[in-house]
Structure 1
Amino acid sequence: MNSSYERPLFDYISFCKHFNINEIERIIKTVDKKSKIKIIKDEIYNLFINENTKFTHLYIPYQFDRQLHLIPGVDKCFSEIRFLSCNAKINLNVLPGLIEVFKSIRELELSIGASNNKYEIIRLIKTSKNLVKIRLLNEYYSERSYCKNLEQTLANHADNILYLKLTKQPITNFVFLLFLHLEKLLINCKDLMGLYFNFDNSYLNTYVHWDNFFETLAKSSPINLFRFKFQLYEAPELKSLKLFFDNWKGRHPMLLQIIQDKDNLNFHAINTMRRYYDLIEKSKAEGIVKKYDDNLNGITFKDFEWIQSK
């Protein structure tokens, strides 16, 4: 029996916004006839990359080597890419041509290996004027010289970075430089409605001077900012939190969440957080705190969830 196929009523691919090459490569590997793989690849990439498609999110797999910038229509297709996920071991033939195409990238998710990381990624960061959100996913033994160069580049972009996630202790002190820009961030970003601070490793905690940090937060936060979430390796002393509340008097009552790192949830940490309760109840009565939650009862939170789910 012959199979018949009808042309789709819509050009569904033109509605796609996420181009996940990891999944495409995985599917192609299931093809039995290896002699047909090159033809199939050409057809698939030409089908997705052309002047009729515009992606906003691009996911490039480890050691991917296809020169996407040579495909006709790629300039228009990738002109609105704002999220890029890739590995620092990306093939040298891939990125140089794409750097000129990526004009609007705002988010970068970068996996860093133990060796053979490519410096073209650092060049991309240097030339990206709109990059505000970065996630660095390091292997346990990442290439030290590469990480140092990358961190220095990020330090030079401290004015622009609004979100930074690290999975390994930095080599340089560039995280400290980012703290110096907190006041500038609060003053310039008038539309901020909530902040999530992730200090869930001992390295970051050593750079936080809590009195100065809370004072800056209370005095420089825009009027609509009253939602705060702190994920901590080690909770600050009671006196620092009291300073925060004292400086917040007269402002919109805050929604506050404090999440203690589970691996460091020892007797001292639990005792410190329980001593918060009397201060917080007093602050609620004074109209400083509207709602407070923590994770001592094992309840979890979503990143930007301000009212705790039950």
Structure 2
Amino acid sequence: MVYLNEDVLFQILEDLNDKKSIYSCLLVNKTWCITAVSILWRNPGQYFMTNNSKKILFNVIFSHLSKESRNLLKKQVIDDLITETSQRPLFNYISFWKYLNFFLIENIITLISQKSIMSTITIRNEILKLFINGNTKFLHLSIPRNFNYQLHYILGVEHCFSEIESLSIYCKISQNILELLARTCKSIKRLRIINNQNVIIDNISGIIKLIEVQEKLNDVSFIDLTRMNKSLHKSLEESLIKHADTIQYLRMDWLPYTRILSYLVNLLSFEIDLPYNKNFGELSKFRSFQIIKNIKGHGVPPDVLANLIESTKIHLSEISIYCVVFNVSGDKRLIQTIYQNCPNLRYLKLSLVFYDNSLISELDNLLINCKFLNELIIDVTDSQLFGWDKLFVMLAKSSSINLFDFKFFSNKIIELDHIKLFLDNWKDRNPMLLKICTSMSLKEKQQLEDLIEPYKAKGIIKNYFIGFDGNISEKLEWI
């Protein structure tokens, strides 16, 4: 067997990013086993967990505690929730954790501590000391809303958080926590600031300070920060402008009050999610997207999006759009703008409300002009009027050799004859990836599967997924 340096092996397996393959590495030898375990345990919270799996995870955590701590906790929880073993675990699994998710930890604590508030506090304190000390370091940190743990009193917390690269926090957390993060975390690259939609925000001084002290800020998302006055939104924008050279990804849900987009000269991806009936005058004036590659718009009128797309010249490779319009001309102009300005487009999601035959004609022009497009998502609101048969004929006729990944969303069931027409016309082309999500019954879902299966057997479809309304992700990954 060829010997690989541990660091090289770790990098190979991490880049592989294939859990099934990494599991097989556990049985190769000690070096491969340790490397595989360190990757599999980097982020236990990434997996879906039942209550039983959370109890198992708690027992793993419990096994790392000192004898004194274990005895203390056994008095505070129901005994059958703890599986005591005489042997220590083979690995220090806690040392492999790089994603510290306090939502998961609190969820486990709540599940385990069923006796009293005092037992909850005791369990929390012992677990926090296990994770936060002078021997642990995390790269990713998630803090839920109403988080008020006294972390700043825990010995070693600054060492533990000194290399945080990704941070997700809610607005309503303790100012002491924000001050600790601003003092300790200077290398955050990805920052997510979240708020509960029903909560009014009146103080963001701690968040502003946290943003300002960063040295490598690259990816920023503001989520559900709509219940905030203009001055606070403006303060957030001004804090980001100080990182104009490093920010490449930005998501926000309000109209900019400053000319922030003009300052972010290296911006590659811009996502905006807005309530309807807004005044979009300021947004429509921007002409700064010279190198941006990804635009996502939700609730932004098509004419405003068209103006933004025109300002990107030829760089856009991903566009995701959901907008409500009251005439077909808005959708037509938007589609025209895309194929006239985005020859390098590779990913497109279009949400259509109205329909007439001219839209199919414009989509045909888009396929002809955007030869690099490989993934197309069509989301239709009024499916009863939409000409799915005409769309499918056009897709089979005009799709380039690169386009084979299709997702279709609809609030009404798509007729089987229309789908059959699409599949019949796709023969002798690259096998497609097909995802369909409509409002349908179990019987209708089975009928659709019965229609599709023979085409998969013939090699016309490589893989497919059928979901009910709202049950499919536009970024669904194939396995």
Aligned residue for 2:105, secondary structure, equals helix
**Structure-1 residue corresponding to 2:364:** 277
Partner of 2:320: 231
The answer on whether the counterparts of 1:144 and 1:171 sit within 8 Å (CA) in structure 2 is: no
Write 1 or 2 for the structure with the bigger share of helix: 2
* 2:186 counterpart residue number: 103
Per the alignment, residue 86 of structure 1 pairs with 169
Report deviation, 1:17: 0.9
Given residue 320 of structure 2, which amino acid in structure 1 is its aligned partner?
A: Q
Is 1:258 matched up with 2:348? yes
Q: How is 1:157-306 mapped onto 2 (pairs within 5 angstroms)?
A: 157-166=243-252, 168-170=253-255, 172-174=257-259, 176-177=261-262, 195-202=293-300, 206=304, 209=307, 212-215=310-313, 217=315, 228-233=317-322, 236-238=334-336, 241-245=339-343, 254=344, 256-261=346-351, 264-267=352-355, 271-272=358-359, 274-278=361-365, 280-281=367-368, 283=369, 289-296=371-378, 297-298=408-409, 299=435, 302-303=474-475
- The aligned residue for residue 123 of structure 1 is 209
The structural deviation recorded for 1:86 is 0.8
The superposition leaves residues 120-149 of structure 1 with CA deviations (integer Å, 9 ceiling, x where unpaired) of 111111111211111111255334432231
* 8 Å Cα contact 1:107-1:131 kept in structure 2: yes
Superposed displacement of residue 301, structure 1: 6.8
Higher relative contact order (CA 8 A, sep 6+): 1
Residues 145 and 169 in structure 2, CA contact (< 8 A), matched pair in contact too: yes
Gaps of 5+ in 2: 1-78, 269-287, 324-330, 379-407, 410-434, 436-471
Letter in 2 for 1:12: Y
Larger radius of gyration: 2
Alignment of 1:35-46 (within 5 A): 35-46=118-129
CA RMSD across the alignment: 3.5
1:9 aligns with 2:90: yes
Q: Deviations over 1:90-141 (max 9, x none)?
A: 1112221221210211111111341344311111111112111111112553
Determine the C-alpha separation between the residues in 2 that align with 1:121 and 1:35: 32
Aligned equivalents of 1:274 and 1:301: distance in 2? 27
| CA contact 2:310–2:337 (8 Å) conserved in 1 | no
Residue 95 and residue 205 in structure 1: after superposition, are their counterparts in 2 closer, same or farther (change >3 A)?
farther
Cα shift readout 1:34-65 (whole Å, capped 9, x = no counterpart): 22333322211110011222211111121222
2:362 aligned partner, one-letter code: R
Q: TM-score by structure 1 length?
A: 0.74
Question: C-alpha displacement at 1:278, in angstroms?
Answer: 3.4
Aligned to 1:25: 106
Extract unaligned runs of 5+ from structure 1. Answer: 188-193, 219-227, 246-253
Alpha-carbon offset, residue 271 of structure 1: 4.1
Task: Report the AA paired with residue 94 of structure 1.
Answer: I
